Amino acid sequence: MKVYVVGGAVGYTRFLDDAEITHNIEDADIVMFTGGEDVDPSMYGCKRHPRTWSNIERDKEEKKIFDTINPNQLVVSVCRGSQLMCILNGGILVQDLQGHAIGKTHPITNGKEVYEITSTHHQMQYPFDLPQEDYDILYWANNIGRNHSGDKINPDIIIEKGEPEIVLYHRPGKPKCLAIQGHPEMIPGTPVTKMLNKLIKSLC
C-alpha cells in the first residue's frame, strides 16, 4: 500500500504492514494525518476551553489537503488526526478529558472483542450529533476518562455510549476516514495493530 503522510512524520506508519511511503498524494492508497496540537475550536464553531492548545495555521493547511483527497482514497488518522477527521466530517470535540493522557495502554471494545491500545490524549472525538448514516463507532472505551468537558457536548451521551476510540466516517462524496484515537505506531505487532491492518486492508 502506498501511503502519503501529511506533514511527513513517517514514523506514524510503523504499525502498517507493507507500507510504501510516497511523496505524491495523488499516488497514495492511504493518506495519513498524524498527532500533535489540539484542533482549534474555531474550526468547528465552538468556544475555546481554557485547556485547549491549538495551531490554527496547521488546521487550515491540513483542511486544504483533506479537501484534495479523492473519495477512492482511504484516510487513516492517529490521535490529533482522528480529532481533525471528526471535525472535517461535521463533528465537534471534547476539549478536555482527564484520565486518557496516561502514556500506557487501556482496553477498547466493539462489544465482543477487547484490545489494548495506547492512550496519550486530552481531547476526544464527539461524533454523536452527526447523522447516524455518516459514521460508525467501531471500538470504544468504557468510560475510563472523567470530567468530559467542552462547548456543546453532552457528557451523559458519552457515559451512555462510551468514549469513541476508533471511528469510521463515510459521508457521501468524501473519502472514508478511519479515525484512531490511540497511537498504534507505539505498539507495532500487537493484537490491536494486527486488527487495524486487517481493517485497513478491507477498506482499501
Q: Percent of the chain beyond pLDDT 90?
A: 86
The confidence score (pLDDT) of residue 101 equals: 67
The confidence score (pLDDT) of residue 122 equals: 84
* Spatial distance between the Cα atoms of 165 and 21, rounded to a whole number of angstroms: 26
The confidence score (pLDDT) of residue 154 equals: 96
For the 2-203 domain, the top CATH level (class) is alpha beta
Average pLDDT of the chain is 94
β pairing state of 176-180 and 163-169: antiparallel
Q: Percent of the chain beyond pLDDT 70?
A: 98
pLDDT at 145 over 80: no
> Which whole-number Å values give the CA distances from 183 to 1, 65, 68, 82, in the listed order?
20, 22, 25, 11
Q: What is the DSSP string of 50-65?
A: TT--B-HHHHHHHHHH
Cβ neighbors of 171 (< 8 A, separation 6 or more) are: 89, 90, 134
Cell numbers describing residue 110: 466493539
**Which tens digits make up the pLDDT trace of 26-40?**
999 999 999 999 999
- With cut-offs at 50, 70 and 90, classify the pLDDT of residue 199: very high
Positions of E strands within the chain: 2-5, 20-21, 30-33, 74-78, 92-94, 96-98, 101-109, 114-120, 124-126, 135-141, 146-149, 163-169, 176-180
Select the more confidently predicted residue: 102 or 106: 106
The pTM score is: 0.95
* Domain locations along the chain: 2-203
pLDDT at 108 over 90: yes
The predicted model gives 102-115 an average pLDDT of 91
**Which tens digits make up the pLDDT trace of 57-104?**
999 999 999 999 999 999 999 999 999 999 999 999 999 987 666 778
The confidence score (pLDDT) of residue 120 equals: 82
